[in-house]
Amino acid sequence: MFTYDKVKNRPRLLLAMTGLVRTEFEELLIPFQVTWEAYVEAHSLPEQDRQRRTGAGRKPALCTTADKLLFILFYVKTYPLQEIIAFSFGMSQGQACYWIHVLSDVLRQTLASMEQLPERNPAQLGANLAENGETILGIDGTERRIQRPKDDLEQQTYYSGKKRAHTVKNNVVVNLVSRQVKYLSGTYEGKKHDKKICDEEEPTFPEGSTLYKDTGFQGYEPSGVNTMQPKKKPRGQDLSPEDRQRNSEISTVRIVVEHVISGIKRCRIVKDVFRNTKDGFDDVVMEIACGLHNFRTACRSNPEAADP
């Protein structure tokens, strides 16, 4: 049975299970403990209504807060079947399902308290970026496969011709200097176009900022923003050497967005075919994956955060 005490001194195993090194895990554990205690207090019965004192009864499989954090990080990083994670942590499948949803919420709240979650309000994005002086940005869409819906209408709605699969989709805005996710759009059906999401949400940007985008955002020109997009090859013609050179320069900068999306998808729960059917959970796990990417990036940009 996995416990934190068993894996904390095995760096490669801990990294494979959680995506974090020990110093990062223990840094995240401190606010996670605070959030967990607040959750327990908010959901506990008053003493006068209890039949047994606090802590009585059978001991839980996840004895410590560190074990709880290991459990939920292991789930989002490796995305095993619930039967597998239940066996790995010495519990039933029903208990595993319960802990997955409870601890996902606690982890999301923890990342929010650390200011590692991306902005979700498009109207607030511009003010946040301007306050921090962030003006070199990139935008891109990312899709995640889901199980094929049983309903015929939902099959058509969630079918992505680009991926030739049933998917859900998000747009992300990335700071190309810090490599952090600054904005995460809502989660939409795979059929919806990247530019259409922007047209509906209308995310704001600081005046005079530069936004790098790909051809999927053709025609998206936010007010007061300098946009950079590769030029499409004219039908039946070739691009000029100048246009090819400019496209290469734009791609060299914009590739950072692809690297960030790859970092987000180190959490296999947003890379593998998504199996969970709870309403809204597909959005929650994407937000958590972005927050974990931001947390890792912040830790690893500081040389003192390196694992000894």
pLDDT (tens digit per residue) in 214-236:
888 988 999 899 999 998 888 88
pLDDT in tens, 281-302: 999 999 999 999 999 999 998 7
Q: With bands split at pLDDT 50, 70 and 90, how would you rate the model's confidence at 308?
A: very low
Q: 158 is written with which tokens? A: 């969630």
Q: In which band, very low, low, confident or very high, does the pLDDT at 47 lie, cut at 50, 70 and 90?
A: low
Mean of pLDDT over the chain: 92
Mean predicted confidence (pLDDT) in 16-27:
97
Chain segment 240-285, per-residue pLDDT in tens: 888 899 989 999 999 999 999 999 999 999 999 999 989 999 999 9
**What band does 48 get if pLDDT is binned at 50, 70 and 90?**
low
Task: With a cut of 80, say whether residue 134 has pLDDT above it.
Answer: yes
| Domain assignments of the chain as residue spans, ordered by start | 1-48+59-114+276-308, 122-264
- The DSSP secondary structure of 105-128, one letter per residue, reads HHHHHHHHHTT-SPB--HHHHHHH
Question: Are β-strands 210-212 and 136-145 bridged in parallel, bridged antiparallel, or unpaired?
Answer: parallel
Count of CB atoms situated within 10 Å of the CB of 303: 6
pLDDT given for residue 99 in this prediction: 96
Tens-place pLDDT, residues 139-153: 999 999 999 999 999
In the block, which residue shows the tokens 């606010």? Answer: 31
Instruction: Place 52 in a pLDDT band, splitting at 50, 70 and 90.
Output: low
Does residue 49 carry a pLDDT above 90? no
